[in-house]
Structure formats: C-alpha cells, structure tokens
Amino acid sequence: MSTRTPLPHNVPIVDENGNATPFFQRLMQDVLKEKAVTDGLAEAAVPGSRQVIAGTGLTGGGPLSANVTLQADPEFIRDTIASFIIAGSSVTVTHNDGANTLTISSTGGGGGGSGEFPFNPPSLTSWTAASTAATFSAVNYPKSGLAMNVTSSGAARHIRVVKDAPAGAFSFGARVVQIVPTASSEQGSGLIIRNKTNGRCLVFYQYSDNALNLQNWTTADAFSANVLSNTGPVGRRSSTTLGLGVDAGGTVTAYIGNGAQWQILGTTTIAAFLGAGDLEYGFFLFTQNTAGRIGKMLVPYHIDSPGVGVLNDADPV
C-alpha cells in the first residue's frame, strides 16, 4: 500500500508557463517507483494453479494456495532397504511386505571366516550325537553350552557331535572346556573330521595332560598316527579354542586361538589319510581305552563356516 500523502486540491501541478511543478514531478517519480515494485512482484508471483508434486519416495504435496508438506514414504524406504541387503553365507533375509517387517537370521553357527566369535553353543537340533561307548550323552544347557559325556567305556570309548560337511571348503571351531571327572581319568577333547565311507578320522584335541595333538585315527576309537603335537605353553590351559579349516584343494589347517585371533599349528591334507568319500565334522571326546574310564567336556561357544576354508587373522606359532 502507498504511503504517499494525497495531493491537496489547492496545490498546483503546473506553473504559469504550463510546466510541471517540482512537487508534482516528485509525486510522479514516487508513483513510477511504486509501479516498478508492484510490477516486479506480479511477475514473481506463483499462480494458484501451481502445485508441489511428491517425487519418488515422497508423499504429500498439493497446490500452493496453502501450506504444503512433503514427507518420506515409509513403504518406499522399507522396499529400498530390503532390495540392497544381500544375504551372506549362513544368513537369510526375509522381507514381509504385508507385515512391514525385514528379518535377518543366521542359519549357521556364525562367522568364523571373518574371525568373529559367536557366543552360542552348537545345538543338537543342527548337530547329531553318535558314539560307540557303552554309555554316553550329549545335552544342550542354555546357560552353559553343549555337554558331552562318556560315562562307561572300554575299547569303544568316544562320543562325537557332528554334521555332514559341504562339498568344497569349510571351517569350524570351538571353545573346549575339559572336565576331568577323576584323578585317574585320561581324555581328549576337541574336533573331528571323519570320512563316512571308510571311517577314518582326523582328530584335533587337547589331552588331559594339556598337550595339543592332531592325529590320524583308523576309526573314532582307534589311534593310527600322530600328525603334530604341541606340548609347550600354547597348549597348557584348562580350556582352549581350537579350529580346523579345509580349503577347496583339500588342505587342512589346524588353529588355536580365542575365536577372534588365531595361530596356525600346522597343516595336513584330506588325501594324506582320510581319502575320498563324504565327510562329517564336529566335536569329539574320547577316554583312555581302559574299561570304566569316563570323560566329560563342554562346548560353550562354536564357529561354523560352510564355504570358508580358513580362519582369518592367523599367524604361525
């Protein structure tokens, strides 16, 4: 709105010569300036028909005759996230569009290939107990882990909790807690790879004297030959974390560590003793081959990485 004072009726706009008076000239200049401003505003004005259009992933919008709000579309965000999350090894991704949920689940024991240690024991819903001992048991305790027991033995003296190995590479490991029930008990607690066709086994265990051994056994009850041993400080612990990795070429690497960092104790090959055939792998407990000897072990945590043949962050001992 103009703030100019109206021209009084007694103020002349021309002088006696017919020329515009100075007052009238200033008045016209002010009018022209105001017109320039209003013309500019008119050119910049947004017509009422103009609208804000919600683009991809947005909702809202509308004509500019009122305030307009744009907001992200939750459905678009969920669909976008679901499209770029790719399930890795032993992981499933389930997008339920109707329920607006995205579920990521582990289908294996964890990520041994990346060096991470999952704090969960092997479950007997995924692993199977087998034994030739007279009396044995395998029990999952929610707060403790997998307990394996040989409570009566002789020449048949072991329990194994295993699953079928995949074709190609795989790796696995466990925190092994050795529980020696009596002063006279002698036992080994650790890991096993077994040829299901010929029964031959590669076992990696801590013995009750704390030595670590990687050995060939003709059956899960009968020792054949030693591959390597470590009786130094590395093996002297009441519990230890052991790992075995099998690469695509059949090389087997024995590891000791804490689940996040690993040391390599040595290597062998599948062909050297186990030979051709379907394999199974898992956790292994045996007692000295004397009648009546008993043994116990606990597996509170484990690693299971089908398709991954090495445990990372490994250094030679």
- Domains, the chain: 112-316 (2.60.120.200)
Find out whether 104 and 93 touch, Cβ atoms under 8 Å. Answer: yes
pLDDT value for 234: 46
Tokens of 186: 């002698």
pLDDT value for 31: 73
Q: Cα dist. 75→35, 87, 138 in Å?
A: 51, 21, 47
* Amino acid sitting at position 162: V
CB atoms within 10 A of CB 71: 10
Burial classification of residue 145, based on how many CB atoms lie within 10 Å of its CB (0-12 exposed, 13-18 middle, 19 or more buried)? buried
pLDDT value for 17: 78
**Cβ contacts of 89 within 8 Å, gap of 6 or more:** 108, 111, 113, 305, 306, 307, 308
Q: Please choose, from the candidates 124, 198, 108, the residue with its C-alpha nearest in 3D space to the C-alpha of residue 161.
A: 124
CB atoms within 10 A of CB 109: 24
Measured distance CA(276)–CA(245) in Å, rounded: 17
What is the block-wise mean pLDDT of the chain (317 residues), using blocks of 10 residues?
A: 60 74 75 72 68 83 80 83 77 82 66 46 88 82 85 76 92 86 73 96 89 92 90 58 93 87 90 95 85 80 85 54
Rg of the Cα atoms in the chain:
40
CA 284, 287, 293: angle at the middle one, nearest 5?
A: 145
pLDDT value for 180: 66
Place of tokens 């100019």: 4
pLDDT value for 111: 39
Phi, psi of 311 (to 5 degrees): -105, 125
Measured distance CA(28)–CA(50) in Å, rounded: 36
pLDDT value for 135: 80
